[in-house]
Amino acid sequence: MSVVNNIEDGEIDIVIGALHSDLRPFMSAWKSIFSRYHLIIVKDPDLKDDLQIPEGLSFKIDIYTKSHIDKVVGSSTSIAFSGYSCKYFGFLVSRKKYIVSIDDDCVPVKDADSFLIDPVAQHLRNLATPATPFFFNTLYDPYRNGADFVRGYPFSLRSGITCALSCGLWLNLADLDAPTQALKPEKRNSRYVDAVMTVPARVMMPISGINIAFNRELVGPALCPALRLTGEGKVRWETMEDIWSGMCVKVVCDHLGLGVKSGLPYVWRNDRGDAIESLKKEWEGVKLMEEVVPWFQSMVLSRTATKAEDCVAEMAKRVKEQLGGSDPGFGRAAEAMMDWVELWKKVGSGPSPV
Amino acid sequence: MAPPSPSHVAPLLKDELDIVIPTIRNLDFLEMWRPFLQPYHLIIVQDGDPSKTIRVPEGFDYELYNRNDINKILGPKASCISFKDSACRCFGFLVSKKKYIFTIDDDCFVAKDPSGEEINALAQHIKNLLTPSTPHFFNTLYDPYREGADFVRGYPFSLREGVPTAISHGLWLNIPDYDAPTQLVKPLERNSRYVDAVMTIPKGTLFPMCGMNLAFDRELIGPALYFGLMGDGQPIGRYDDMWAGWCAKVIADHLGLGVKTGLPYIWHSKASNPFVNLKKEYKGIYWQEEIIPFFQSAALPKESKTVQQCYRDLSLLVKEKLGPIDPYFQKLSDEMVTWIEAWEELNPAAK
C-alpha cells in the first residue's frame, strides 16, 4: 500500500459505469494504472449481455448489476440508474473517501515517450492540494511544482480551501455537444493544456462526468442522478445528467466553502457514436440548459444547510417549486433529488448494503 | 489562386494600435522584437532624468515623452502621473490616439513556444482582443474562439456570442512575476511551464493584473487603466498594475466587457532586487488585505454607463472606504479624478 499526496490507496474507489459489455480492451488499457486500487464496476441495467472482464486480473473488483441495484434501491424510487446514471449507484455504495470515475470509452493518454499518463494520480493531487476560488491566480494552480502565487495575490487567501471536486479533460473526442460536433465532424481535441486551476467561487461551469474525481465524504450526495432527457441515450451527446449534477455540486461547493478544480488530467476518449444522429435527441437537453443556468447562478442556499445532503434537499424543493412548472423534466429531477437524499441517508453510510 | 505570401499581408491593426513602453534605461530590447513590432507606432514614456537621451533603435516610428513633456502637456494635472516608477506608462495611454494599446516592459524579450518557434506576442494579443470573451459561464476547454477549441457540452447557447474583450493579459516565461517575499524564499524559481491556453476571467472574479505584457481596447476601457500613484514621494510601489487591474475588472464586469488571460508568453529576463521590492511593496502587502474586499464588494450605480463615469464613482468609493486606512488613499482618490479630467481633456470625443 502506498501513499501519494497523503492519500492512501485504500481510501480510493475507482467507479466505472459499464455501458459496454466487453470491458476487456478498457481493462487492459487501464490495468497498470488501476491495479493498485479497488474498482467498482456498475453494469448499466439496460445492458443485456454479460460483462466480459479479462481473466487473471490482480486487483480487487466489485461488480454490481441490475439485481444489486433493485435490491438496494427498491422499485419505489423515481431515480433511474440506467445508462450513464448507473455509476451513481457505485458512488452510493462506495465506502471510500475519494472516488475517481472515468467513462468506459476512455483510455489513458500517452506522453511523447509513449508512457501512460496516470490521471488517477493527478486527480488525487488536485484533491489533496487546496483550491483557491476567491481570487484568480494568473499562473494557475499555485501548488504545482514550479508555480506559486503571483505578485498581488492577497496573503490571507493563500492557504486556500479544501478541494472537493476535480474535473479532468479529454483528448481526441472532446466533450462537445451534438450540434457542435455535428457541424465539425472531424474536429478532435489535440491541445494538451498543461494546467490545473480552481474555478472561481459563484462561477458556473459545465461539469462533464466523463473524467472526474471527488471527495465522497464532503460532496458525495451532491452528485445526483436527477435530470433525465426523455430521449436519453447511451452516448454523452444524448445526456444531461452530469451537467445537471455538476451545477448542483458547484452550488453546493460554493455554499459549503469547498473548491472545484478543472484542467489536468486528460484521458483519451475514443471515437464513438454519430453526432448527427444524436442531434435529434440532444435538442431537448440544450433547451433545458438555457432555462436552468440563470436559476443556478442566482441560487443562495440557507445558512442552516451545512452538509451536502441538506443542500441537495433544499435545492430539490426549489427545483420543484420554481422550475417544476416550466418543464415536467424538472419536476421529475426534483423527485429524483429528494429520493436520492433519502437513499443516501439510508444506505450511503454504515455497513455496505450490497 | 495561391494565398498571399506573409510579406504581403499587412500586420493586423497596424494603424489602429500603439505600443507603449515605459523606460528609464534603454530600448535595446526592441532589436529582438523588430520583426514583430517594427510596423507599429511606439509611444515611449521616459521615466527618471529628462536630460538623459534614450536612443530608439533605427527604423521604429515613435513619439517620446520625458518628464518635462508630461509636465508641459498636463500642467497641474501632471500630478497624477507617477515619477520613478513604470506606472508612468499610463501617460502613454492618455496621449495615444489609437483604438488599441499594447504595453510591454523593456526587460521583456521574445519567448519561444514548445516547438521552438518565436512567439509573436502582439499577434496573439490582437487575436485575444478581436474575439469575444465569455465571462458568464466557465468553458472547460478555455477560450472557445481559439482554433482547435470550442464550447463544451452543457454550455448555454444563449451565452455563446460572448462579450467584447477589453483586456488581454499575457504571461511570462523565465522570471515569474512574484512578490518580494516569494522572491526571497524562491530566488531560483523560473517559470518554465508553457500553458497553451487563453481564458476569460469570469465575471465577479478579481485577478492580479501584471503590466509587463498587456494589451487593451482603449476605446472600451482606456480610462480605467490609470496606474495610480507610485514611486518617488509615494509610500508604495509595484502595485500600479494591480491597482489598474482591480479598477478595470470591476468596471469591465459592470459594463459587460471581458478580460482574458493566458497566452501570449514573453521572456522576462530581469529579476528585480527582492530587498528593494520588499521596501516598495511592504505597505501594499498588508493594505491589499483591505483593498481586495473593497473591490470585491464595490457596487457601481446602474446608471453609470461609461468608463469615465464608473471611474469617477470608484474614486468616490475609494475615498470613502479606503481613505480611513491611510491618507495615501485620499490622495489617490483625488488623482483618480485628475486622471479622468486629463483623459477627457486630451480625448474630447470620449466625453
The label of the residue with cell 484568480 reads: A136
In this structure, the number of other CB atoms found within 10 A of the CB of residue A155 comes to 13
Q: With contacts defined as CB-CB under 8 Å, which chain A residues touch B259?
A: none
CA distance A323 to A329: 9
- Beta carbons of A250 and A189 less than 8 angstroms apart: no
Beta bridge partners of A17: A42
Which member of B149, B178, B202 has the closest CB to residue A203? B202
Q: Determine phi and psi for A122, rounding to 5 degrees.
A: -70, -45
CA distance A32 to A337: 36
- Among chain A residues, CA nearest to B199: A138
Q: How far is B161 from chain A (nearest CA, A)?
A: 14
CA distance B86 to A123: 41
Give the pLDDT of residue A2: 52
- Beta carbons of B136 and B53 less than 8 angstroms apart: no
Helix, strand, coil tally for chain A in percent (to 5): 40, 20, 45
Q: How far is A34 from chain B (nearest CA, A)?
A: 26
Q: Go through A241-270 and write b for each residue having 16 or more CB atoms within 10 A of its CB, e for each that does not.
A: bbbbbbbbbbbbbbbbebbbbbbbbbbbbe
Cell of A298: 442566482
DSSP states along A70-84? HHHH-SS-S----GG
Q: Cα B348 from chain centroid? A: 23
Is B196 in contact with A194 (Cβ distance < 8 A)? yes
DSSP states along B144-168? TTSTT--PPTT--GGGTT-B-EEEE
**What are the helix (H) ranges across chain A?**
24-34, 66-73, 86-93, 119-128, 178-183, 216-219, 241-256, 275-297, 308-318, 328-347
Q: Cα A232 from chain centroid? A: 18
Below-70 pLDDT ranges, chain A: 1-5, 281-282
Q: With contacts defined as CB-CB under 8 Å, which chain A residues touch B189?
A: 146, 148
Residues A95-137 have pLDDT tens digits of: 999 999 999 999 999 988 889 999 999 999 999 999 999 999 9
Is A208 in contact with B154 (Cβ distance < 8 A)? yes
- Calculate Rg over the CA atoms of chain B: 20
Give the pLDDT of residue A261: 98
Is A150 in contact with B242 (Cβ distance < 8 A)? no
DSSP states along B294-342? HHHH----TT--SHHHHHHHHHHHIIIIITTT-HHHHHHHHHHHHHHHH
CA distances (Å), origin B241, targets A19, A295, B78, B213, B266: 52, 36, 19, 11, 17
- Beta carbons of B92 and B22 less than 8 angstroms apart: yes
CA distance B298 to B248: 12
Q: Cα B346 from chain centroid? A: 20
Is B205 in contact with A200 (Cβ distance < 8 A)? yes
Q: How many interface pairs between A and B have CB atoms less than 8 angstroms apart?
A: 169
Q: How far is A206 from chain B (nearest CA, A)?
A: 5
- Beta carbons of A300 and A293 less than 8 angstroms apart: no
Q: With contacts defined as CB-CB under 8 Å, which chain A residues touch B210?
A: 138, 150-152
CA distance B97 to B102: 13
Q: How far is B138 from chain A (nearest CA, A)?
A: 5
CA distance B20 to A47: 64
Give the pLDDT of residue A282: 62
Which residues, including other chains, have CB under 8 Å from residue B8's CB and lie 6 or more apart? none
Which residues, including other chains, have CB under 8 Å from residue B90's CB and lie 6 or more apart? B81, B225, B226, B227, B244, B339
Residue type, B106: D
Give the pLDDT of residue B7: 46
CA distance A348 to A92: 5
The number of helices, as runs of H, and strands, as runs of E, in chain A is 10, 11
Is A152 in contact with B288 (Cβ distance < 8 A)? yes
Below-70 pLDDT ranges, chain B: 1-9, 350-351
Q: Angle formed by the axes of helices B121-130 and B30-37, to 10°?
A: 50
- Beta carbons of B133 and A100 less than 8 angstroms apart: no
Which member of B152, B176, B196 has the closest CB to residue A139? B176
Select from A84, A149, A150 the residue whose CB has the most chain B CBs within 10 Å, as the one to mutate to test that interface: A150
Q: With contacts defined as CB-CB under 8 Å, which chain A residues touch B292?
A: 135, 154, 157
CA distance A310 to A344: 11
- Beta carbons of B166 and B248 less than 8 angstroms apart: yes
Is A182 in CB contact (< 8 Å) with chain B?
Answer: no
Q: Judge residue B49's burial from the number of C-beta atoms within 10 Å of its C-beta, 0-12 exposed, 13-18 middle, 19 or more buried.
A: exposed
Q: With contacts defined as CB-CB under 8 Å, which chain B residues touch A146?
A: 189-193
| Measured distance between the N- and C-terminal CA atoms of chain A, rounded to whole angstroms | 25
Is B207 in contact with A138 (Cβ distance < 8 A)? yes
Give the pLDDT of residue B302: 96
CA distance B204 to B161: 19
- Beta carbons of A196 and A264 less than 8 angstroms apart: yes
Q: With contacts defined as CB-CB under 8 Å, which chain A residues touch B203?
A: 203
This prediction has a pTM of 0.95
Is A202 in CB contact (< 8 Å) with chain B?
Answer: yes
Which member of A202, A205, A240 has the closest CB to residue B204? A202
